[in-house]
Structure 1
Amino acid sequence: MANSTTVTDVSLETTFLGHKLSNPFMNASGVHCMTTKELDEMANSNAGAFITKSATSIERAGNPEPRYYSVPLGSINSMGLPNKGIDYYLEYVLKRQENFPNAGVIFFSVAGMSVDENIKLLQKIQDSSFSGVTELNLSCPNVPGKPQVAYDFELTKEILTKVFAFFKKPLGIKLPPFFDFAHFEIMSNILNQFPLTYVNSINSIGNGLYIDVESESVVIKPKNGFGGLGGEYVKPTALANVRAFYTRLNPNIKIIGTGGIRTGQDAFEHLLCGATLLQIGTELHKEGISIFDRVEKELKDIMAKKGYKSIDEFRGKLNSL
């Protein structure tokens, strides 16, 4: 029997924390979210939601330039957390919340340079009237001299214990990629002990190296050219992490799938692995916010061909051989 589902039958509507979003797409923190102008553009785009730049206590210039470089299969960057500081972004989201009370959910990202700074940043959000979702970035791979927190399992548990002692608002965490089943198990066992709203997986694959053969040189300045990889390079790793956490975490901890989403098919694969929301980074940087129109259309086309009218009909239902 021919499949009679048409694109007009397909809905990408996604529910997150009781908010109905028109689709599961967002920007990845760090892309198109540095200034209020960029945040406004994200808010007015076809994305279902948006997230702010990971904020530190005060403004940071980040690493010396060039620190981002587009490569054929993605990107390499060592940004070093440039941002305008928490007060800049908090003022923006509070104003937006007030002016557009029914505009869905706002995601607010923070990334302290130390445990104490993370606690102070989250304390500030807890004491504010912010009613969206906070993301604690435990996975910035590009700050010289600072290891990724989430690769230290004991420290991760210590931070989350301290955070949830006072933080009562919805909180998700951004994780780096893991590459070992033992690490998926250990991290999941830790995360399942806390009332997390979501896990965002993955941040860029840390410390790749890209070489320009003509000049026999690296292409970015910080850390002698070592930087986080994004884009097509990382999709298989991202899918593996989304799947590994989807099958191990409590079902009330949602997964945001990030890494290598360039087409509707990439989005479909992330959803099939169990993601609820999807963040686009490298490709948004390359293409601009019109990417959301394109990937939504492509995802709808795939779903219509397969006879799916909603994402819930296939989310997480990846087949094994």
Structure 2
Amino acid sequence: MSASLRTEFLGRQYENPFMNASGVHCLTIDELEELSNSKAGAFITKSSTEVEREGNPEPRYYSTPLGSINSMGLPNRGFKYYLDYVLDYQDKHPAANTPFFSVAGMSIDENLKLLRAIQDSAFDGVTELNLSCPNVPGKPQLAYDFEVTEELLSKVFSFFKKPLGVKLPPYFDFAHFDTAASILNKFPLAYVNCINSVGNGLYVDLETESVVIKPKNGFGGIGGEYVKPTALANVRGFYTRLNSSIKIIGTGGIRTGQDAFEHLLCGATMLQVGTELYEEGVSVFERLLHELEDIMNKKGYTSIDEFRGKLSSL
């Protein structure tokens, strides 16, 4: 029997676990429609702020031999643009899963305002709160401040009753995994998304003896193959620490079906593709599907649930 990639996530059925990573190929309605018509099992909007943002000056993205460096600065068309889109989508496609909706307010108060608007709307999908944007000058990543993270989530869940996940930055120490998990386990989170890009890397062009992106004197988030081991560690670290009701979305370094298989083996339920989607376009999803199916067939797995989370230790 051929392998099935059908995936259940938060009580909803998806044809496969693949999605775009928020921030890639989701800025405009045209791009979101291309995702909708692709082989991706689901898709998510650009992380939105209350008002439209141009983002950081260009060049702000650069392809490297093992991935990418970017300092986009949250360019987006504004919260209402994406909310109107997802509400229209669910009206036009009542039998389909509503797109995931990502928000990334520039302050705690802005995050609360946006989430209240979602709670009060007819939106029936899944919301992702981005606690981990590393590329806005002068703005720290919320999720590295554990006290503020707990304060924010306490305020959010005092009124927010719809499915909510959080996008996390990479953590690098077991003590940080332990502390973050102890906080996240206090709340009825739907999922955590591991990881956003590794913040504040630097890439040098040997020929020009220069940095390659303009914002922040060349410092930017690192994605692609560089970050897969860190992403897998975060997926595994939280899979083994969080309540079983909190699912994991694996993001970081998914370039091949093998990368996808490894994320699932470490405990991810859904998978987001960033750098490779940027480089290859939406056709990447069809290729990844075939490559993951081939690996599962060779190993004799007929469903993802047969191996999800079952990483062996030595």
Q: TM-score, normalised by structure 2?
A: 0.99
Task: Give the whole-Å Cα distance in 2 for the aligned partners of 1:116 and 1:218.
Answer: 35
Q: CA deviation at 1:105?
A: 3.8
Task: Give the structure 1 partner of residue 290 of structure 2.
Answer: 297
Q: Which structure 1 residue ranges, 5 or more long, are not aligned? A: none
Runs of 4+ in 1 over 4 A off after TM superposition: none
Task: Give the whole-Å Cα distance in 1 for the aligned partners of 2:138 and 2:89.
Answer: 36
Q: TM-score, normalised by structure 1?
A: 0.97
Task: Give the whole-Å Cα distance in 2 for the aligned partners of 1:135 and 1:54.
Answer: 8
Give the letter for the 2:194 counterpart: S
- 1:316 counterpart = 2:309: yes
1:63–1:79 CA contact under 8 A, matched in 2: yes
- 1:185 counterpart = 2:178: yes
Q: CA deviation at 1:103?
A: 1.2
Q: CA deviation at 1:18?
A: 1.6
Percent identical: 75
Task: Give the whole-Å Cα distance in 2 for the aligned partners of 1:96 and 1:263.
Answer: 30
Task: Give the structure 2 partner of residue 261 of structure 1.
Answer: 254
Task: Give the whole-Å Cα distance in 2 for the aligned partners of 1:101 and 1:195.
Answer: 26
Task: Give the structure 1 partner of residue 84 of structure 2.
Answer: 91
Task: Give the whole-Å Cα distance in 2 for the aligned partners of 1:74 and 1:63.
Answer: 20
Task: Give the whole-Å Cα distance in 2 for the aligned partners of 1:102 and 1:48.
Answer: 14
2:104–2:129 CA contact under 8 A, matched in 1: yes
| Match of residue 283, structure 1, among 276, 283, 292 | 276
Task: Give the structure 1 partner of residue 5 of structure 2.
Answer: 12
Deviations 1:183-229 (A, max 9, x none): 00000000000000000000000000000010000000000000000
In the alignment of these two chains, the number of paired residues is 314
Q: Which structure 2 residue ranges, 5 or more long, are not aligned? A: none
Counterparts of 1:210-249 in structure 2 under 5 Å?
210-249=203-242
| Match of residue 44, structure 2, among 13, 30, 51 | 51
Counterparts of 1:103-182 in structure 2 under 5 Å?
103-182=96-175
Task: Give the whole-Å Cα distance in 1 for the aligned partners of 2:96 and 2:208.
Answer: 49
Deviations 1:118-174 (A, max 9, x none): 000101111110000000000000000011000000000000000000111100000
1:19–1:105 CA contact under 8 A, matched in 2: no
